[in-house]
Structure 1
Amino acid sequence: MSLLSIRNVRKSFGTNLVLNDFSLDVEAGECVVLIGASGSGKSTLLRCVNLLETVDDGVIELDGTDITDPRIDTDRVRSGIGIVFQSYNLFPHLSVLDNVTLAPIRVHGVPKARARTQALEMLDRVGLADKASAKPDELSGGQQQRAAIARAMVNSPKLMLLDEVTSALDPELVGEVLDLLCELSSEGMTMLICTHEMSFARSVADKICFLDQGRLLEAGPPQQLLEHPAEPRTQEFLRRIRG
């Protein structure tokens, strides 16, 4: 059984069909990267998996549980999923430590002392132990993104969702975030990642999926899909990306 199973999912915003009969399996410990043009449905898919958007049709199962069932406890589902956006979404008035402990304490009812201990361990894990008392605007972009990843990981999620997490960074800061994600992948963290950066995709992915107009058009190992794509639309996209 796949850790994440997406079956025939459809999602529209008004008359705009964003996900069109979309299906994908992600195995435990697998890093799957989604590529495709803007508007192809990548970010919407992540938001549907994290229940930030409600699907119009189809089923999403996480570890065998149908999380698209309207009776599902969304807070319980989200406690098992970490999500990181390109804009960090850290609260500027809170310290890094308080940003990381906020959800465990207020949403999941973790005792404050235990939440702080777990948060400090996670900040150490991402190389930010010495920045626990700093405010987000005192950090570099790469450090802010690593803090956001620490916040997403503090509940030991089954699945990590990452949406263009390097696109807002200066080129010299991309490497530190990429190194962290490669390390997490090597340790068996299950990840579903949206990106426009092909070198990033090649470095971290077990499987790359090309989305086009809300459909999964083609999928395969990085070497195969990036160097020998089968679909003409994939070939065209990669030619444009490479300039």
Structure 2
Amino acid sequence: MSLLTIEGVWKNFHGHSVLRGIDLEVQPHEVVSLIGPSGSGKSTLLRCVNLLETVDDGSIHLDGQEITDPRVDADDVRKRLGIVFQAFNLFPHMTVLDNVTLAPRQVLKTPKAQAEEEARELLARFGLAAKAGAYPDQLSGGQQQRVAVIRALAMQPRLMLLDEVTSALDPELVLDVLGIIRELKESGMTMILTTHEMSFCRDISDTVCFLDGGVLVEKGSPEKIFASPEQPRTREFLRSVLDSGRL
């Protein structure tokens, strides 16, 4: 059974359709990358999956449950989803350890000692054990984004949503964050990510989806999408990316 099923999802803002009948299935342990020009609907789709936006038509199922049913408790659904945005959104007045343990303690009611032990294990796993007592402004941008990913992982999500997590970073820090995403893939984490890092997308993805104008124009394996896309619009987009040096 698919872990996530998106069926005929439409989303409108001020009379403008930003998602137009999106259909997508995500299997357990699969990494799905969403690519496309700015404004194509990639981030909006992630926000709909996390119930930060209400769909206007269609449905989304997580583990067989229709999470877009208005009777569903959105906070309960979000316990099973981890989302990381472009901005780090760390609490500046809290240490790294406190940032990571806050949600498990308050939402999952994990005892403090257990939450801290599990947080320290995650920090060590991703090379930040020495930063547990540091504050966000004492970290580099890449370290802050790694903490944001770790904070999402601390909730033990079924699915990770990563929205352009490298776009706010200096180029030399991008590899720092891409490494953590690659490690997550190797550990079997199911992920949907939006990215402009085409070479990384081709390397890490099981499925690549090209969106344009709110439509899922084409999807397939990285080999198919990057080497022999079927749709003219996909070919045009990838040519423009190649010309800009991003592929």
Q: TM-score, length-normalised on structure 2?
A: 0.96
SS at the partner of 1:196? coil
Letter of the 1:201 partner, please give it: C
Are the counterparts in 2 of residues 3 and 63 from structure 1 also a CA contact under 8 Å? yes
Letter of the 2:139 partner, please give it: L
Deviation at 1:107, TM superposition (A): 2.5
Are the counterparts in 1 of residues 103 and 155 from structure 2 also a CA contact under 8 Å? no
Q: Does 1:27 align with 2:46?
A: no
Partner residue, 1:40? 40
CA RMSD for the aligned pairs?
1.0
Deviation at 1:121, TM superposition (A): 1.3
Q: Does 1:84 align with 2:84?
A: yes
Distance in 1 (CA, whole Å) between partners of 2:229 and 2:27 is 22
Are the counterparts in 2 of residues 182 and 203 from structure 1 also a CA contact under 8 Å? no
Distance in 2 (CA, whole Å) between partners of 1:105 and 1:210 is 38
Distance in 2 (CA, whole Å) between partners of 1:56 and 1:124 is 42
Gaps of 5+ in 1: none
Distance in 2 (CA, whole Å) between partners of 1:187 and 1:98 is 25
Are the counterparts in 1 of residues 86 and 165 from structure 2 also a CA contact under 8 Å? yes
Are the counterparts in 2 of residues 11 and 20 from structure 1 also a CA contact under 8 Å? yes
Letter of the 1:8 partner, please give it: G
Partner residue, 1:208? 208
Letter of the 2:43 partner, please give it: S
Partner residue, 2:106? 106
Deviation at 1:109, TM superposition (A): 2.0
Letter of the 1:67 partner, please give it: I
Partner residue, 1:160? 160
Letter of the 1:195 partner, please give it: T
Deviation at 1:120, TM superposition (A): 1.2
Cα displacement string for residues 158-213 of structure 1 (whole angstroms, at most 9, x for unaligned residues): 10000001111111111121121111112210000001110121121111100011
Gaps of 5+ in 2: none
Distance in 1 (CA, whole Å) between partners of 2:127 and 2:120 is 10
Deviation at 1:106, TM superposition (A): 2.0
Letter of the 1:70 partner, please give it: P
Distance in 1 (CA, whole Å) between partners of 2:10 and 2:221 is 26
Q: TM-score, length-normalised on structure 1?
A: 0.97
Q: Does 1:66 align with 2:66?
A: yes
Partner residue, 1:147? 147
Letter of the 2:228 partner, please give it: H
Q: Does 1:52 align with 2:85?
A: no
SS at the partner of 2:116? helix
Distance in 2 (CA, whole Å) between partners of 1:83 and 1:184 is 14
